[in-house]
A and B are shown apart, each in its own frame.
Chain A
Amino acid sequence: MLRVSHLSKTYRNGKAKAIDDINLEIEDGDIYGFIGPNGAGKSTTIKCIVGIHGYEEGEIVFNGIDLKEDPYAFKSQLAYVPDNPDLYEFMTGMAYLDFIANTFRIGKERGELIQKYAKQFGIENDLGSPIKNYSHGMKQKIQIIAAILHQPKLMVLDEPFVGLDPKAAFDLKEIMKDLCAHGTMILFSSHVLEVVEKFCNKIAIIKKGKLIASGSTEEVRGNESLEARFMELFNE
């Protein structure tokens, strides 16, 4: 389980909190959608969870491991896909994936895994090219492959469908479903409400740094569509 308790963060020189008293609980097999308007604090929350940003208040605990007390053990179990994949442009796709595989101590099967996922995403012939020559979508695919190589227990994705072609988006959803079936927790932010509504079993809505709704998808949307509910909450 991932438990985020009373998470608050203020950026340097900021007078207001970027996020305030965020509480989330994600259990094994959950696909948790995180939605909100631009600048609401989705990316900030996500970056705090994966250890990129620090935070002043609150706790982030994953399977009993506190992020601040043992960041190494915490990060060993998670995978992160950012909204803007700024990768090591000086590496080839294969070299980057090899580097990630090394970091997570993946064994000899890494070669097969890389080829399998690269074929699935249609970039098996581009692995030998430098990442600086990749399009945004290709970089996104490389980062997704890097994230799933080590079969993480927690996968955090920030707007993962941006830049993906329809087939790649479908493949990503299938991979996420497969991971969840094996107990992985997934947290992802998105602006595409239809995907979140159909795909996620739990949803949280954030506005101006505060959670305004969270729970199962049925609880959050009620009798309306998610879009209608979102607009209702947004206009309150």
Chain B
Amino acid sequence: MNNLKSLIKIEFGKFLSSFSSGRKKRNTPIFYIAIFVGLFGMAMSAGYSFLILHSYVEAKIDPAGAVAFFAGVASLFVFMSAMNQARGIYIGDDYDLLTSLPIKRRDIVASKIITIYLTELLFSTMIMLPHAVVLIIMTHHVPLLLLSLLLAVTLPIVPVAIAVLFSLLVTMATSRFRYANLVVTLFYTAFIVAIAVLGIVTRDKQAAEAAAGFGAIGGVLKWVNPAYGLIELSVSISWFFLFAYMGVNVLAVIFTVLFFSLSYEKLHDLVSSISYKPKAVHASSKNKNETKLLLSLETKRLLSSRIYFINSCMGAIMAIVGTVVFLISMKNGMDNASPENPEAAELISLMVIPIMITISCMILGLTSPAASGISIEGKSFWIMKSLPIDYKKYMHVKLLFPLLIFVPAALLTSTIAVIFFHNYVEDIIFAFLIPLAYVVLNTIIGLWINLRHVKLKWNNEAEVVKNSAAILIGLLLDFALTIVMGAILIVMPIFTRTALWGYIAVFSAIVIAIIPCYLHLRHIFPTKIEAIEDL
């Protein structure tokens, strides 16, 4: 038990240290930023809880369905997050060290799985706790409140177990292929698109049907949490199904720990031996210019890292999917709108593209690779520092590379938007200009943030592309900027009866911000790179 406790402390400490800046002095404010981001997430959960529970209460339907729906959404997030961490169980950097020590395999595996559970518990409580608070305020249903709290704690168990096993299968199936990461990203994309399509198909403005729609989405979510069926039954406060649900969770833990303990060395050897074996390659006969050379390096780095690739591309994909879902919902809502209030209908039509722009910008800004552009170099950063590399070209490549991913995504979301809504000329023009300008600004700021919060000593890309201080700060800044942008874009039409002034104000502000930000970055970049000594 002592070994298990010590190992859990070490593993969880590794997770927490991934949020550190690498310098003690900077860690305290980053801790508060992390708390703030967590509180922001809880606020969003509370907001959505209110909207969903409102549908149920208005339709006078048992709110247990809403609890099940929220639990299902949380299990989805847990599943996708746990997939990224699962590889560390059987192919971590500490494998050699741990297997050489007199520690039971069961303790090693249990500590890693428990750590994944604890990290996912943070996310599940972030979603379920605010939901529980809103639930008790709106419904006064004490048994459901207790169930929500129980679900907050037990929810991650089965999705973590499934994610761990599924990740193993995916790794074994895809590692021998050159474009394995592309395959996995396509899987995630198909998964998200399926959820979105179901959401579109089942939505309706009637509360009862909306509630049924959420229930239908919940049915899809059973795929990532087979215990979800039991959740649905247990929310009817049947003690039998509640015990059955708890029993399933216990069995999931025991099975997962036993499976990995018994096959620990075999799995490690098996997965270590599977890798893409490229055909013999030859040296190129022509010299590439420095910019192309560095871009090629960035591309190879992106394609070779699953976490980096998925994290970078999913932002672009989610922006497209989110925009499409929003636009379809608005289009159908407006088509079915009552003709009794044409002014309200006109106002809503003025706000559609501004809201789309805000959503698109927010999602695109969440996962920009720029905020981890320097940190991703890791321990091999000495190569860039010792080679004759022009640091200004290096900076331009670090700016250009994220844009190559996000500019096409921004263009696609904007094109889809103007296909759906093209009543106003300014909508067409600024639906393109603002997201493009925002992506450029976000990239410049992201790289600047990373220069101030570089972290080169890492073992897993997740430490820099998901959990680092630079990413947290970038996330916060993205929220702040898009909330202000959204407020201007949405409020202006109310007073001016046109979205044009809001567009001009936001676009001008972004462009005016880009110029000094770029010039400042260009000025400080070589000095900052020279000063990085975290090697």
Contact = CB atoms under 8 A, between A and B. Distances in A.
Interface string B386-401: 1111100000000000
A99 B386 CA distance: 14
A1 interface: no
A50 B386 contact: yes
A128 B530 CA distance: 33
Nearest to B385: A52
Interface in B201-223: none
B293 interface: yes
A88 B380 contact: yes
Interface in B348-394: 378-380, 382-383, 385-390
Interface in B286-314: 287-288, 290, 293, 297, 300-301, 303-305
Contacts of B390: 72
A19 B290 CA distance: 34
B533 A88 contact: no
Contact of A53 (B275, B280, B383, B533): B533
A136 interface: no
Given A75-B388, A102-B288, A86 B378 contact: yes
A207 interface: no
B276 A130 contact: yes
A105 interface: yes
Contacts of B300: 88, 90-91, 95
A230 to B, nearest CB: 28
A51 B283 contact: no
B533 A110 contact: no
Sorting the interface of chain B by its residue count into under 10, 10 to 19, 20 to 34 or 35 or more gives: 35 or more
Contacts of A104: 388
Given A51-B385, A88-B383, A128 B278 contact: yes
Interface string A99-112: 11111111110110
A90 B276 CA distance: 11
Contacts of B378: 86
A198 interface: no
Contact of B283 (A75, A94, A103, A132): A94
The CB with the most chain A CB atoms within 10 A, among B282, B287, B386, B535, is that of B386
B285 A108 contact: yes
A95 to B, nearest CB: 6
A82 interface: yes
A105 B36 CA distance: 49
B2 interface: no
A94 B283 CA distance: 7
Interface in B269-283: 275-283
A97 interface: yes
A105 B382 CA distance: 20
B304 A103 contact: no
A102 B533 CA distance: 26
Given A51-B385, A54-B530, A98 B280 contact: no
B301 A80 contact: no
Nearest to A110: B283
B531 interface: yes
B304 A90 contact: yes
A111 B197 CA distance: 52
Contacts of B301: 88, 90
A11 B386 CA distance: 19
B284 interface: yes
A12 B533 contact: yes
Nearest to A150: B388
A102 B388 contact: no
Given A94-B282, A98-B283, A108-B285, A87 B533 contact: no
Interface string B256-279: 000000000000000000011111
Contacts of A98: 283-284
Contacts of A127: 280-281
A191 to B, nearest CB: 21
B156 to A, nearest CB: 31
Contact of A99 (B282, B297, B379, B388): B297
Nearest to B531: A54
Contact of A87 (B285, B293, B383): B383
Interface string A106-132: 111011001000000000000111101
A63 interface: no
A86 B282 contact: no
Given A72-B390, A102-B287, A102-B293, A92 B385 contact: no
A76 interface: yes
Interface in A118-168: 127-130, 132-133
A99 B293 contact: yes
A78 B386 CA distance: 9
Contacts of B284: 98, 102
A151 to B, nearest CB: 14
Contacts of B380: 86-89
B323 to A, nearest CB: 32
Given A108-B285, A130-B276, A52 B297 contact: no
Contacts of A130: 275-276, 278
Interface in A34-82: 47, 50-54, 71-76, 78, 80, 82
A114 B281 CA distance: 12
Given A92-B281, A94-B283, A102-B287, A80 B386 contact: yes
13 contacts: A52-B382, A52-B535, A54-B531, A71-B530, A75-B389, A80-B382, A94-B282, A103-B290, A104-B388, A108-B285, A111-B283, A129-B277, A130-B278
Interface of B: 23, 275-285, 287-288, 290, 293, 297, 300-301, 303-305, 378-380, 382-383, 385-390, 530-531, 533, 535
The 4 closest A-B pairs by CB, nearest first: A90-B304, A86-B379, A111-B283, A75-B388
